Amino acid sequence: MSLAIETHNLGKRYGDVTAVNSLSLRVAEGEIYAFLGLNGAGKTTTIRLLLGMVKPTAGYADVLQTRVQPGRREPWAAVGYMVEDSRAYPELTVYENLEVARRLHPGVLPKAVDDMIEQMGLSAYADRRARTLSHGNAQRLGLAKALLHAPQLIILDEPSNGLDPAGIVEIRELLQSLVREHGVTVFMSSHILAEVARLADRIGIIHEGRLIQELNISELERDRKRLLVLAVRQLALARTALEAAGYTPLLHADGAIALEDASAIDAPDIIASLLVQAGAPPTRLMVEEEELEQYFLRLVGLEAGVQNE
């Protein structure tokens, strides 16, 4: 398996501030890799390092098996990207902006511009100046510029920023079809786990410049906390009974009891009979899976929600 992106202890310091710290990433060809982190976690700096826009202060990055160095021409013919918010020349039309992007990629035929306008649903705006575009359409233009030269590797910084729900679905489907039909590799950053969980094959979580976890989508399902949530009328009675049986009841939101014990989650029927026998029958009993965003916040150490009493 060859790697589309490989970084080795990549780091970037600005004076005393460490933006990216000892980052070792491996993105296989043909996969969708989501790079997840809160604002300021180092996502954009990492992307700029990968694109040779800033020099690393430690380590190195290989993109499409080429060492990234400032001002080099390789490997950019096969890389499409969008960094931060999409910007275009305001005085040029959508068509002209794409024509500029085309000429920056020698060998791309003029027809690619028309095709891309159609593919991104920008036909109605082709002759509009970029300054008049809505945020969503400006974002589409940015994506069109990134995809124009049919790159092998697409690096996108928060691609769904500013898109409406229909646009988000559309971009997701577009990226999936590029991966499926053309074997393209996608490296995208996001701060919303739920958004990338549907799209990515693998997720890397960055916090304060460090890669704190890398996981496959299947691992994501496995690692999320599960809880057995019980609502009862006699709260004290139920807690005593559960503690007597060796469980550790936690106070859940809205006055319910939560159990993290795997034995309880796997056998809620036993818990139900236990409570009935104790004279505190459950009025509600359900297995709750941790919300993705909560899981993400737990990973980066900003947990909220379940609390020990």
Partner 1 sequence: MNNLPDMIWIELRKAIRSRMPLWTALGSLFLPLGIAFLMFVAKNPEVSKKLGLISAKADLLAYSATDWSSYLGLYGMIIAAVGFLLFVLVVSWVFGREFADGTLKDMLAVPVPRGGILLAKFTTVAIWSVALSIVIYVAGLVIGAVIKLPGGSISLILQGSTMVLVTTGLVILGVPPFAFFASVGRGYLLPIGVAVLTLMTTNLMMVVGWAEYFPWAVPGLYAQGETPLPPVSYWIVLFTALVGMLATYLWWKYADQSR
How many residues form the binding site for partner 1 (CB under 8 A)? 33
Where does this chain touch partner 1 (CB under 8 A) — which range of 34-42, 89-97, 212-220, 240-248? 89-97
Which one, 93 or 294, has the nearer CB to partner 1?
Answer: 93
What whole-number distance in Å separates Cα of residue 25 and Cα of residue 7? 5
Q: Is 110 in the site for partner 1 (CB under 8 A)?
A: no
- Smallest separation, CB 135 to partner 1 (Å): 14
Sign of CA dihedral 260, 263, 265, 269: negative
Q: Which stretch binds partner 1 (CB under 8 A): 45-53, 170-178, 215-223, 267-275?
A: 45-53
In whole angstroms, how far apart are CA 66 and each of 1, 2, 25?
Answer: 16, 12, 15
Which residue's CB is nearer to partner 1, number 79 or number 232? 79
Please say whether the beta carbons of 143 and 122 come within 8 A: no
Task: Give 54 or 275: the residue with its C-beta nearer to partner 1.
Answer: 54
Q: Does 90 bind partner 1 (CB under 8 A)?
A: yes
- From 239, 256, 268, select the one nearest 305 (Cα to Cα): 256
Q: Which of 47, 46, 56, 44 is nearest to 13 (CA)?
A: 56
Stretch that binds partner 1, among 75-83, 213-221, 273-281, 289-297 (CB under 8 A): 75-83
Q: Helix H segments across 20-63?
A: 43-50
Answer for which of 88, 205, 211, 280 binds partner 1 (CB under 8 A) is 88
Say whether residue 140 binds partner 1 (CB under 8 A).
no
Cα 125 off chain centre by: 29
From the CB of 235, what's the least distance to partner 1, in Å? Answer: 54
Smallest gap, in angstroms, from Cβ of residue 90 to partner 1?
A: 7
- Strand, coil or helix: 37: coil
From 84-92, 132-140, 217-225, 251-259, give the range in contact with partner 1 by CB under 8 A. Answer: 84-92
Site membership for partner 1, residue 91 (CB under 8 A): yes
CB of 47 to partner 1, least distance (A): 10
Q: How far is the CB of 93 from partner 1 (least distance, A)?
A: 8
What whole-number distance in Å separates Cα of residue 303 and Cα of residue 300?
Answer: 8
**Which residues, at least 6 apart from 16, have a Cβ–Cβ distance to it below 8 Å?**
none
The answer to whether 126 contacts partner 1 (rule: CB under 8 A) is no
Our CB check for partner 1 shows the closer of 77 and 231 to be: 77
Please report, for residues 11, 155, 231, the alpha-carbon distance to residue 54 in angstroms, rounded to integers and kept in the order given.
11, 15, 54
Count CB atoms within 10 A of the CB of residue 170: 16
| Residue range at the interface with partner 1 (CB under 8 A); choices 91-99, 110-118, 173-181, 207-215 | 91-99
Cα distance between residue 286 and residue 291, in whole Å: 15
Q: What residues make contact with partner 1 under the rule CB under 8 A? A: 45, 48, 51-55, 70-71, 73-74, 76-77, 79, 81, 83-85, 87-92, 96, 99-101, 103-106, 145
